[in-house]
């Protein structure tokens, strides 16, 4: 199946606020070769995002952030989420530039090097947002404090975690968002190779 197997009959913006919701009327080809009846679906449009897991290979520490999340509140999950640094790509901006900008804004850290982890859809059933995920080499000496842009309502706490504590952190379900889970699981699998590459 590909894009030729979808017929978009109509698309309209039904809400425009901080984010946008579009309503689609469409049909798509069935696995038996026929077409579905007309379907109506809403899609949440919030742009495309970049996430970065700051990692200090010398100190063997990761830098996470913790902040209030209204989606977690609405889901009745822990409202202050332990996360990786992340932000939305602005028009004309590269994913790497977003990673560097957000690391400074949200954690007060300068990225010394970047390596890609993966890219994925965050909630493919109803959200168009994609996530480009990186691991960023940092010097975590002195990392901590409260960061974020006041005019964006950000109040972000920096949390430094030794690598040795990551398995316990994950086992205790202290990270309950997809981006953080993907990044930390990736580091558990790739940490030795990454340290060898970033040695010195």
Residue 152 designated active-site: yes
DSSP string, 15-76: EESSSEEEEEEEEEB-TTSSBPPPEEEEEEE---EEEEEEEETTTTEEEEEEEE-HHHHHTT
Q: CA-to-CA distance for 140 and 137, rounded, in angstroms?
A: 9
Would you call 117 helix, strand, or coil by DSSP? Answer: strand
Residue in 3, 12, 150, 152 annotated catalytic? 152
Helix or strand (DSSP H, E) at 135 = strand 130-137
What amino acid positions are annotated as catalytic residues?
152
């Amino acid at each position: 199946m590909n894009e030729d197997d979808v017929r978009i009959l109509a698309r309209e913006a039904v809400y425009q606020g901080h984010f946008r919701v579009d309503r689609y009327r469409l049909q798509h080809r069935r696995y038996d070769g026929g077409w579905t009846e007309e379907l109506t679906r809403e899609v949440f449009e919030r742009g495309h995002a970049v996430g970065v897991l700051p990692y200090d290979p010398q100190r063997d520490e990761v830098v996470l952030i913790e902040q209030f999340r209204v989606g977690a509140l609405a889901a009745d999950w822990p409202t202050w989420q332990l996360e990786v640094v992340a932000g939305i790509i602005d028009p004309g901006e590269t994913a790497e530039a977003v990673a560097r900008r957000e690391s400074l804004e949200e954690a007060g850290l300068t990225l010394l090097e970047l390596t890609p982890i993966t890219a994925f859809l965050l909630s493919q059933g109803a959200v168009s947002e994609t996530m480009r995920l990186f691991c960023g080499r940092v010097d975590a000496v002195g990392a901590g404090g409260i960061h974020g842009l006041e005019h964006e309502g950000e109040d972000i706490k920096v949390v430094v975690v030794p690598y040795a504590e990551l398995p316990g952190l994950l086992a205790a379900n202290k990270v309950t968002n997809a981006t953080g889970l993907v990044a930390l699981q990736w580091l558990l699998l790739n940490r030795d190779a990454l340290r060898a590459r970033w040695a010195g």
